[in-house]
Amino acid sequence: MTELRASIRGFEIIHGAVLEQEPFRQRTRLAEAERTRHRKVTKAALQSQRIASAKIAS
């Protein structure tokens, strides 16, 4: 039983780290899209900005 708890705890630690990194990735994506959009409005930059904003809000 102790081995099972340790395994579950290890999974939670790894999975939690991945979930904590996602907002940072999306903020970086949003910032890059905004920089691109200020230079030149592109469909890809607008799409990336929309997706990043939605993921940050959720």
Q: Indicate the helix (H) or strand (E) that contains 42.
A: none
Name the token pair of 15.
């999975």
What pTM does this model have?
A: 0.60
Sheet strands (E) in the chain? none
Q: What is the pLDDT of residues 4-56, one digit of tens each?
A: 898 888 888 888 888 888 888 989 999 999 998 888 888 988 898 899 889 88
Q: Hey, how many other C-beta atoms are within 10 angstroms of the C-beta on 26?
A: 19
Report the alpha-carbon distance of residue 28 to residue 7 in Å, rounded: 32
